[in-house]
A and B are shown apart, each in its own frame.
Chain A
Amino acid sequence: MSKRGEGAFVEFREVSKSYDGKVLSVQDFTLSVAKGEFVTILGPSGCGKTTCLKMLAGFEEPTSGEILLNGRPIGRVRAHKRNIGVVFQQYALFPHMTIAENLAFPLQARGASKHESAAGVKRALDMVQLAAFADRRPGQLSGGQQQRAAIGRALVFEPDLVLMDEPLGALDRRLREDMQYEIRRLQQRLEVTMIYVTHDQGEAMVLSDRVAVMNGGKVEQIAPPEVLYEEPGTLFVANFIGENNRLDGEVVEWTEQVCRVDVKGKGVVQAFPVAVGEGDHHTSLTIRPERVELNPAPGRTANVFDAKVQDVIFIGDHLRIHAELLGCQQFIVKIPNIIGHGAVLPGDTVKFGWLTTDCRALDAAPPTQTGTAPAQ
């Protein structure tokens, strides 16, 4: 699985964690991260992603399983000996110290001389562009500056591994995007291994070499962002990453390459079987809104169905069409703005078509859920 380097630098082996002895917050978490890799653990709040990070940093102990760092188990290594840089959700800068003192703290803890520590602090401050704020206290800095100070402090002692726990959660949208690129740039320049935790799928896509999607304490899928988007392995991933249409149905017949799914008796859809054929005939089909073609040329797409347009939203570069298709009331289609505004109107009946490979037959959703997953 590793993308760079040889062996795994960080390895979780079937790690489970329970706080109360009953409920597992993390269940059989297995992940290996290569040296220099940027891996994001992505999931909704409460899915156990922060717990994984805490176990790696040494703030929590796994209930079972093992964590290895550089090939050695770290179960008995105390947090202060692990040499891992951690950036916390609320920054956790020391409010009674100046920014320079904050950055000097890890160096002094390692017994650096005054001179070494001053030089290290200066380098790190330059790196995060805070040289002018060295003598300010954290309370006198803006959120973005505090964030950069926290990152500088986690990097100043040149750790091999840096963990970040939703570090951009408290920032506004613009700043968040700027910081994303800054973090990515720093990580690549320093060639440091990074494990990043977030609930924001956009952030995960921008930053990561690979993303581990978690849900309810379990890993759903570990893959590079483009694979997660194009080839989601589970319905949860398909719905969590980007926008997806969902059609529930019964598998009529299937081969390795294609399956035919009867959608509530209203039509038979041809799809690519991802998780089909293990006894259960229920399945959920997912189709990305941008992979649906309006009035396709005959024979171009294996699937063509009539749809009743309910709403057309003009976004600018594309049109967003809400339609009723095969009994699904909120089928969403994104059409590039080539056809122009007004070509499709509410109330029109049109044809939507899509390729077999763009329609993935996944594990069936619990029967209570219907319709399209909300946009993230």
Chain B
Amino acid sequence: MMGKSRTQALLLSLPLIAFIGITFVAPLGSMVLRSFYDPLVAEILPKTVAALGEWDGGALPPEGVYALLAEELRQARADRTIGRLATRLNRQTPGLRSVVSGTGRRLARQGQPPWAEALPRMNKAWGEPEVWHAIAQAGRRVTPTYYLNALDLRMDADSGVVQQPEAKRVYRALFVKTIGVALAITLLCLGIGYPLAWFIAHSPPRRGRLLLVLVLLPFWTSLLVRTTSWIVLLQQQGVLNNLLIWAGVVADDQRLTLMHNMIGTFVAMTHVLLPFMVLPLYSVMSGIPPVQMQAASSLGAKWPRAFRRVYLPQSMPGVGAGCLLVFILAMGYYITPALVGGQSGQLISNFIAYHMQTSLNWGLAAALGSILFVAVLLLFLLYDRVLGLDRMRLGS
């Protein structure tokens, strides 16, 4: 009968599995797929790309390739897909957008063989091998381009991997910065959260409950409200600056810049993420009987020693859980840096959002997101290896 009940259980959970598949696995999968699979050029210029595959890559391609390109560009213009093609090729080699769309416009009105002469007349870029290399590279369906871009690398004409020019290197520094900010915020949260959780866990029950509600209160408020209230407090004409001027700490013409920079990001993110540190810590600490510290002191240990040897080790599962939680959340945080971070306070997620919403370079956004995802996953595994996930306690 085992088999039957298993089948029933499976059937009953099918809707849930389908739900998870549709809402979680599928979007994630398609996003990851987008980061390395890009058939756009190969679909719009199938014959050109195929012909370029046989090109030796030395000088310019033969007349046949020029003819195929002219034909397919005309077709693309008729199909209204040339805009996307131009954008895609522009990403491969900046400047190609106007080359492609300009050539497309002219081809609609004029042009006849030999194309190897006609096309360079329309735009002299067609007389240079780089353009053809760019089309050949962009024509590959499976492409490392986005990952390379996400790591400030690119492919040169010989398909060798080289650094981006210095002015265009963004993401590696941004990843490092994001990890650094996440680490710093984790430490800040731990520094504030540990004593707070201690105080709550070892307060008399009534006061403890009240304090816990105060910690949880922000959870019931919209994240946007909490973040914007920091704007009220921190802006140049804000409450904090006014107070400082009133107290005579700073002069009116030297108001502190507390937001739209890194300070704003730090303050607001620490505040927003603090409950994620306090709650696991509280849950572990409230399970440590007060008699443990009494025992340690009766055995002759001063408070610091008793804390270090007896209390701290027993609270480590909470420290681990809280830090992991805050770090992972901080790594992917988006709204708060977007609102109060200004130019310098932006993190990797803000750039992912930028590429999703503004530049519409979804492939790059997907590559950045995948790298972030893998980094967090690696961290998780590292945590498991070092501290053990089974020892982590999020709640009792």
Q: Chain A: residues with CB nearer than 8 A to chain B? A: 57-59, 78-86, 88-90, 92, 94-96, 105-106, 109-110, 153-154, 157
Contacts and interface: CB of A to CB of B under 8 A. Distances in A.
B301 A80 contact: yes
A79 B291 contact: no
Interface string B295-313: 1111111110110011001
B206 to A, nearest CB: 13
A83 B299 CA distance: 7
A35 B289 CA distance: 32
Contacts of A57: 294, 298
A82 B297 CA distance: 9
A167 B309 CA distance: 24
Contact of A79 (B294, B313, B314): B294
A331 B168 CA distance: 101
A94 B300 CA distance: 14
Contacts of B306: 80
B308 to A, nearest CB: 11
Nearest to A84: B298
B292 interface: yes
Contacts of A80: 297-303, 306
A157 B299 contact: yes
A227 B300 CA distance: 38
Contact of B298 (A79, A89, A94, A95): A79
A86 B298 contact: yes
B299 A153 contact: yes
A109 B298 contact: no
A109 B303 CA distance: 11
A94 B292 contact: yes
Contacts of B295: 86, 88, 92, 94
Contacts of B313: 96
B301 A105 contact: yes
B297 to A, nearest CB: 4
Contacts of A92: 289, 291-292, 294-295
20 contacts: A57-B294, A79-B297, A80-B298, A82-B298, A85-B298, A86-B294, A86-B298, A90-B289, A92-B289, A92-B292, A92-B295, A105-B299, A106-B299, A106-B300, A106-B301, A109-B305, A110-B300, A153-B299, A154-B299, A157-B300
A105 to B, nearest CB: 6
B311 to A, nearest CB: 10
Contacts of B309: 94, 105
A106 B296 CA distance: 8
A194 B13 CA distance: 63
Contacts of B303: 80
Which of A80, A82, A154 gathers most chain B CB within 10 Å?
Answer: A80
A88 B297 contact: no
Interface in B71-122: none
Contact of B297 (A78, A95, A157): A78
Interface residues of B, number: 19
Given A94-B310, A95-B314, A96-B313, A109 B299 contact: yes
A307 to B, nearest CB: 51
Nearest to A165: B291
A59 B294 contact: yes
Nearest to B305: A109
Query: 5 shortest A-B CB distances, which residue pairs?
Result: A106-B299, A92-B295, A109-B300, A86-B298, A109-B301
A114 to B, nearest CB: 16
B301 A58 contact: no
Given A59-B294, A59-B298, A85-B299, 4 more contacts: A58-B298, A80-B301, A90-B289, A94-B296
Nearest to B316: A96
A37 B213 CA distance: 51
A87 B205 CA distance: 26
A153 B292 CA distance: 13
Interface in B274-328: 289, 291-292, 294-303, 305-306, 309-310, 313-314
B294 A83 contact: no
Nearest to B302: A80
A138 to B, nearest CB: 11
B298 A105 contact: no
A96 B313 CA distance: 7
A90 B295 CA distance: 11
B29 to A, nearest CB: 42
Contacts of B298: 57-59, 79-80, 82, 84-86
B226 to A, nearest CB: 37
Nearest to B313: A96
A58 B305 CA distance: 17
B288 to A, nearest CB: 9
A204 B330 CA distance: 59
Contacts of B305: 109
Contacts of A82: 298
Contacts of B314: 94-96
A88 B310 contact: no
Contacts of B299: 80, 85, 105-106, 109, 153-154, 157
